[in-house]
Amino acid sequence: MDIERHPSHRHTVAILSRGDAAARRDATAQKSRFVHVFEALAAVGIEAQPAIYDESFAEDVREQLLAIDGVLVWVNPIQDRRDRAGLDALLRDVAAQGVWVSAHPDVILKMGTKEVLYRTRSMGWGCDTALYQSAEAMRAELPTRLAAGPRVIKRNRGNGGQGVWKVESLPTSSMIKVLDATKDAPEELTLDDFLRRCAEYFENGSVIDQPFQPRLSEGVVRCYMAGDRCAGFGYHKVKALVDSPAARSEAGPRLYTSNAEPRFQRLRRLMEDEWTPQLTSLLDIARLDLPAIWDADFMLGPVLPDGTDSYVLGEINVSSVHPYPDEAPAEIARRVADRLRRSFDTC
């Protein structure tokens, strides 16, 4: 750390999100959707400032970030039809000049894309997961997998259910039935027609193929993590990829709980003590480089012999985790304070 730039050692971070010039001009901590993170950071002695980003004034943002110690980034992989290419280049640049970036774009590429499902398939949260690097490979391999049961196809990068499909063969037809995660009703298509819809996914990435989890209609558990410690949970019944009208009618908003929620203590132990250390080892991510806030979505897998639930990882979210449990901002602040203190101590 540049001690001359921070003679009092009071750390300063930015909270970066997308917005236009007016949003940047008028941004304040009090008006931010991250107001509770600002408050939690202040409570641990860290000064925080908003940093509204757009490609049209990227250089202004760069100058702002180079004057502080760190930046917490909340920007989706795809938002308003724009990707993060320019932002990620900027973040890599300021990180190379000593600014702590969370989540760093290189960490996002390792753990925040659907490919993590394939790379960690041997872990306790894994399942029979395939990776297609081309449409030709998908055409050759998908029919065999469909013969064993419905599959879920996922583009490597996306959010909000974009590029996620339930696919199943039809018993009396050569057609397949597909259900877009963002739609309510399935369609019947030829395999070639479906592959044409997926063609764009291969332009800058791969496609993941997982078995459909029959217990999806029972709900999805989201485990929020601040670094390597659990920051809370979210649970909700979903509509996405659920065929049954009765099950879809039970879908509702995500319900948030603290990390002390009794129902999820086994999952908390697995995440903190087993799966996160295994994840960082497999993906070669230093513990201190884990994002200040990230989450893992789990579907319920087969019931284990002792009667407890197993969990199957559906995705990891890193780029823009929001909203989150009420207790999460304090966990984020502790994570940020620890990371900056360690950076300062090594200078």
| pLDDT (0 to 100) of residue 344 | 65
Determine the average pLDDT of the residues in 223-242. 96
Query: What class, spelled out in words, does domain 12-103+333-345 have in CATH?
Result: alpha beta
**Per-residue pLDDT reduced to its tens digit, 307-322:** 999 999 999 999 999 9
| pLDDT (0 to 100) of residue 345 | 60
Q: Is the pLDDT of residue 160 over 90?
A: no
Q: Is the pLDDT of residue 6 over 50?
A: no
| pLDDT (0 to 100) of residue 80 | 78
Q: Is the pLDDT of residue 4 over 70?
A: no
Q: Residue 9: pLDDT band by 50, 70, 90 thresholds?
A: low
Determine the average pLDDT of the residues in 168-176. 93
DSSP string, 286-336: -GGGS-SSEEEEEEEEEEPTTSPEEEEEEEEE-S---S--TTHHHHHHHHH
Q: State the average pLDDT for the chain.
A: 93
Strands (E), 125-196: 130-132, 151-155, 164-169, 176-180, 187-189
Q: What are the extents of the domains in the chain? A: 12-103+333-345, 110-126+215-318, 130-212
Determine the average pLDDT of the residues in 136-146. 96
Distance CA 216, CA 231 (A): 24
CATH architecture entry for 130-212:
Alpha-Beta Complex (3.90)
Q: Residue 3: pLDDT band by 50, 70, 90 thresholds?
A: very low
- Report residue 107 as tokens: 């960490």
| End-to-end CA gap in the chain | 6
Cα 126-136-212 angle, rounded to 5 deg: 30
Determine the average pLDDT of the residues in 212-225. 97
Determine the average pLDDT of the residues in 33-60. 97
**Per-residue pLDDT reduced to its tens digit, 247-275:** 888 999 999 999 999 999 999 999 999 99
Virtual torsion, Cα 189, 191, 196, 200, nearest 10 deg: 110
Share of the chain above pLDDT 90, in %: 87
**Per-residue pLDDT reduced to its tens digit, 290-313:** 999 999 999 999 999 999 999 999
| pLDDT (0 to 100) of residue 43 | 97
Cβ-count burial 286-309 (b if 16+ within 10 Å, e if not)? eeebbbbbbbbbbbbbeeeeeeeb
Q: Which candidate, 81, 65, 47, places its Cα nearest to that of 73?
A: 65
**Per-residue pLDDT reduced to its tens digit, 67-105:** 999 999 999 988 878 889 999 999 999 999 999 999 999
| pLDDT (0 to 100) of residue 1 | 35
Share of the chain above pLDDT 70, in %: 96
Region of 160 please: left (phi>0), alpha (psi -120 to 50) or beta.
left
Yes or no: domain 110-126+215-318 corresponds to CATH 3.30.470:
yes
Tell me 210's DSSP state. Answer: E
